[in-house]
Chains A and B, each alone.
Chain A
Amino acid sequence: MPKDSGIGASPKRREDVRFLTGNGNYTDDINAHGQAYVHFLRSDIAHGTLNSVDTTAAAAMPGVVRIFTAADFEGVGGVPCGWEITDRHGNAMQEPKHPVLAEGKVRHVGEPIAAVIAESLEQARDAAEAIELDIEELPAVVDMKAAVAEGSVKVHDDLTSNLCYDWGFVEENREAVNQAFQDAAHVTSLELVNNRLVANPMEPRVAIGEYNRSTDDSKLYTTSQNPHVIRLLMGAFVLGIPEHKLQVVSPDVGGGFGTKIFHYAEEAFCTFAAKACNRPVKWTSSRSEAFMSDAHGRDHVTKIELALDADNNFTALRTDTYANMGAYLSTFAPSVPTWLHGTLMAGNYKTPLIYVNVKAVFTNTVPVDAYRGAGRPEATFQLERVVDKAARELGVDPIALRRQNFITEFPYATPVAVEYDTGDYHATMDKLTEIADLSGFDARRKASVANGKLRGLGVNCYIEACGIAPSNLVGQLGARAGLYESATVRVNATGGLVVMTGSHSHGQGHETSFPQVIADMIGIDEGMIEIVHGDTSKVPMGMGTYGSRSLAVGGSAMVRATEKIIAKAKKIAAHLMEAADADIELKDGEFSVAGTDKSVAWGDVTLAAYVPHNYPLEDIEPGLEETAFYDPANFTYPSGAYACEVEVDPDTGKVSIERFSAADDFGNIVNPMIVDGQVHGGIGQGIGQALLEGCVYDEDGQLLSASFMDYAMPRADDVPFYSVDHSCQTPCTHNPLGVKGCGEAGAIGSPPSVVNAVVDALQSAGKTDVTHIDMPLSPGRIWAALNS
């Protein structure tokens, strides 16, 4: 029987009612009294010297309040980067200044040059057209390998080159890895592109700045996954506002997928301008602006090589990757191709020797940063593609080759510096074999062929690292912040609880799932528990939601705070029942004295905490409110096995996904319905990457895919129903809930199986020379491969 409440149940989401009735409160739904509107004049060229910005005529236009340029930001900090990478020679990465408004040069299409504030948005737009720009166009550099070649145009004149860093990992293993390749019985190599993507949450970004001249307090409403991180970065590094003078509110947020983690120039601008103009200012991104100002994702070019011995055991892995940073370093950009990517290169396999080289490169493109999975999809894609190719070259079954090389003993220390606590890769592969009905594939292929279609099957595994992250570890790796989470649990006199969590929900359903955990701990109804998030004035501290960390880190903080609540409540109960603390038991919302029939209800204890007439005042304080900070001991390591079946139309090259199955191990599950939904959404995005999506620049740095007309988002008709299963559960050993995180798995695990399936389909038609096609697998590319 499925449970109907608590951990493991799937209650209906409580947030749904407001969303389904049009009563959500998204940032653009908020209007401040007396607000003015911001329009950014953005560069339409990719690279140029900014000789002058003449705002004289524009400033005289109707409704204009004020126009800002870089000159207004003298003495104001740049938009900071939150992670410093040390290169393979021990040097710090090159880190250019990222001004709020372009300073001296423009470096990508979409970079804001000036901002007009006016009484209406139309007036602001009209005035922006009257700004006179003198920009001397320079050659742009878009291709990464060209950008690091001798004599390339430099994106930043004050840096020595366009190379941000040249990272080697594990540098000490480099020679041993090279030796293993010399000794190998077989080497498989593959060059591939991990296509540049635009996250495109359906809600565009919005920022509203407010200033209170009486108290000198600033307030920012913003569409962020982590308002506290914005408070920290913007307050400390850009505007110099102490945290207690700066309130950041992220109300209902319409999807994030990574791109709403970062601190953006528009946020700092609106906060700054509200004070400078002494009135609220509002900026709402259009979708076109989003394409050229939201940080993009992926964009790696990789060569990967796998060495095997004569028995098909993996003996070494070597990769060489170019990772695009774009024109500036976005908040977490340097960490994505390094620590979130290199550390995952062992995958599910006991490859003993691994060396990863990553060259991060500046180009005249929009900054690139984390997008759902961030580094882990790039790692999984290349690894699972090269393993598939190796199986084909060796003439062995791709699943058997994987199984032969699986890690089977845990904890397992990989050669790339992480320790997997738990997992069972054979179990998820067994489950996949069952739910994907792999034994029925041959019959389905025959049926497809009879219909004039090619059919292919692709399978892959994945491992990811979630629950980012132990602060002491990430500190050593270059993070400039701690990555703990905090929760404050306040119990009201009448027994209801409010959890103020630093995690942020923008689709994940925390308002529903977090209470399930506490309800089980105390034995009370979920309806008595409410979640507050997304407002730095209500939630004192937090680090937000990314890297599938909310339940593993934020949920653990909530559990720790609730444990403190229970411990204190037991002391109060002991006093009320004149018993020893140690004898008090809590079950189903009742405190009892072990071995007696004495009991007192949860509500009586909470009332006593606030009306302490009969209360152990000499031992404990009144009130029932506790805060916990939780800093994890390790990452969590979800894993799984995915299968995709495609049909390819040989006449048109069109691919259709016929079946998609996912067997995941997320450890313990709090709300299976929500977990299913997270996996569905991730798979949808992974299929989008594999088949449809590609962010394209021309060689002059013009963004060709700048709207939904040119950038193909997956639509309902592009995807099938998915078969997902998470019954394989090896609980995480180091967090109190045994949970691992499920938000990114679908996007990490799905692209390789789609490409493996298409290659399989083409091979089945005798195209044995087609061993790889780069994503997105558009009909044109498939047709060309079929007709090569």
Chain B
Amino acid sequence: MAKVSMTVNGKAASADVEGRTLLVSFLREELGLTGVHVGCDTSQCGACVVHVDGKAVKSCTMLALEAEGSEVATIEGQAAEDGSLNTIQAAFQEHHGLQCGFCTPGMVMSAAALLKDNPKPSEQEIRTYLEGNLCRCTGYHNIVKSIMAASGQDVSALAAE
């Protein structure tokens, strides 16, 4: 067991963990941040995406100890203190970018990382960027649309309105 300390959603967090403890397990089991989901065991689905020092990371591929001293952000820290949704979250609700909600935390965190680097991504850039995030419910239509809307693009002319 080794002690690990990091900042998670702006708060200090530390615990004794085994060397093999994954960041996702630390977040879910030690910190109770169950918005971070596990959808696979081969790093393919992206349900577990969080930000580590501002970068999107699949938390199932990182050891908790590797995040020592880092700033970690999860879906739980995205809304404002008063509970109001951030721009991306609000766009997902507005444009029905989620159904069962299981892929959603990873989608929102990936979208946030994309928009940070590329504030007005094209449809194709969004689709390419989401290569590591699987959704089984939405057929991706409304996820792509939500992200375009969150970036301030007019989506009213898209198909199926």
- Most chain A Cβ neighbours within 10 Å, of B44, B100, B140, B158: B100
Given A22-B105, A507-B99, A287 and B42 touching (CB < 8 A)? yes
Contact assessment for A202 and B45 in the assembled complex, using a CB-CB cutoff below 8 Å: yes
Cβ distance B112 to chain A, nearest Cβ, rounded Å: 12
With beta carbons under 8 angstroms apart, the residue of B75, B85, B130 that contacts A17 is B85
Give A507 to B139 CA distance when docked, in angstroms. Answer: 13
Kindly supply a per-residue 1/0 record for chain A positions 676-701, scoring 1 wherever the CB is within 8 Å of any chain B CB and 0 otherwise. 11001111110100000000000000
Given contacts A201-B136, A684-B140, A721-B141, contact A24 B35 (CB under 8 A): yes
| A201→B135 CA distance, assembly (Å) | 8
Cα distance A127–B35 when bound, in Å? 30
Q: How far apart are B93's CB and chain A's nearest CB, in angstroms?
A: 4
Cα of A28 to Cα of B48 in the assembled complex, Å: 14
Chain B interface residue count, CB cutoff 8 Å, equals 57
**B134 pairs with A683, CB closer than 8 A:** no
On whether A16 and B92 interact (CB within 8 A), knowing A708-B42, A717-B127, the answer reads yes
B106 to chain A, nearest CB (A): 9
B76 on the A face (CB < 8 A): yes
Closest to B158 in A: A721
B123 at the interface (CB under 8 A from A): yes
A20 with B139: in contact, given A26-B34, A721-B144, A721-B158 (CB under 8 Å)? no
Proximity bits, B16-46, A CB within 8 Å = 1, else 0: 0000000000001000011111111110110
The interface size of chain A toward B, counting residues with CB under 8 Å, comes to 59
Taking CB as reference atom, which chain B residue is nearest A256?
B100
Q: How far is the CA of A22 from the CA of B78 in the complex (A)?
A: 9
Residue in contact with A716 in the complex, picked from B74, B85, B126, CB distance below 8 Å: B126
CB distance from B40 to the nearest CB of A (A): 4
Are B37 and A203 within 8 A (Cβ)?
A: yes
Contact B38 A28 (CB under 8 A): yes
User: CB-CB < 8 A to A202: which residues of B?
Assistant: 37, 39, 45, 47, 100, 102-103, 134-137
Residues 122 to 161 of chain B near chain A (Cβ within 8 Å): 123, 126-128, 130-131, 133-145, 158-160
A643 at the interface (CB under 8 A from B): no
Q: Which A500-533 residues have a C-beta within 8 angstroms of B?
A: 506-509
B3 at the A/B interface (Cβ < 8 Å)? no
- Cβ A709 vs Cβ B99 within 8 A: no
Q: Closest chain A residue to B108 by CB distance?
A: A20
- Give chain B residues whose Cβ lies under 8 Å from the Cβ of A687: 139
Q: Which of B40, B74, B142, B143 contacts A708 (CB 8 A)?
A: B40
Chain B residues near A252: list those with CB within 8 A: 100-101
- Contacts A24-B35, A26-B102, A202-B39 given; does A16 touch B93 at CB 8 Å: yes
* Contacting pair A12 B94 (CB below 8 A): yes
**Chain B residue nearest to A707 in the complex (CB):** B42
Q: Which residues of chain B are near A286, meaning CB under 8 Å?
A: 41
CB atoms of B131 and A716 under 8 A apart: yes
- Contact of A472 with B by CB under 8 A: no
A12 and B93 in contact, given A202-B39, A721-B144, A723-B160 (Cβ under 8 angstroms): yes
- Determine the chain B residues whose CB is within 8 A of the CB of A12 once the complex forms: 93-94
Chain A residues within 8 Å of B72, by CB: none
Given the contacts A684-B138, A715-B131, A16 and B160 also touching, CB distance less than 8 Å: no
Which A residue's beta carbon lies closest to that of B103?
A: A202
User: Can you list 30 contacts pairing A with B, beta carbon distance less than 8 Å?
Assistant: A12-B93, A16-B93, A19-B98, A20-B93, A20-B101, A22-B35, A28-B34, A28-B38, A201-B102, A202-B134, A202-B136, A202-B137, A203-B39, A203-B100, A204-B39, A254-B37, A254-B101, A287-B45, A506-B100, A507-B101, A680-B139, A681-B99, A681-B137, A708-B40, A709-B44, A716-B126, A717-B131, A719-B140, A724-B159, A746-B139
Partner-A contacts on B (CB < 8 A)? 28, 33-42, 44-45, 47, 74-76, 78-79, 83, 85, 89, 92-94, 96, 98-105, 108, 123, 126-128, 130-131, 133-145, 158-160
Given contacts A708-B134, A716-B144, 17 further A-B contacts (CB under 8 A): A21-B76, A21-B79, A22-B35, A24-B101, A28-B34, A201-B102, A202-B100, A287-B45, A681-B137, A684-B138, A687-B139, A715-B134, A715-B140, A716-B128, A716-B135, A721-B141, A722-B160
Residues of chain A at the chain B interface (Cβ within 8 Å): 12-13, 15-24, 26, 28-29, 199-204, 252-255, 257, 286-288, 506-509, 673-674, 676-677, 680-685, 687, 707-709, 713-717, 719, 721-725, 746
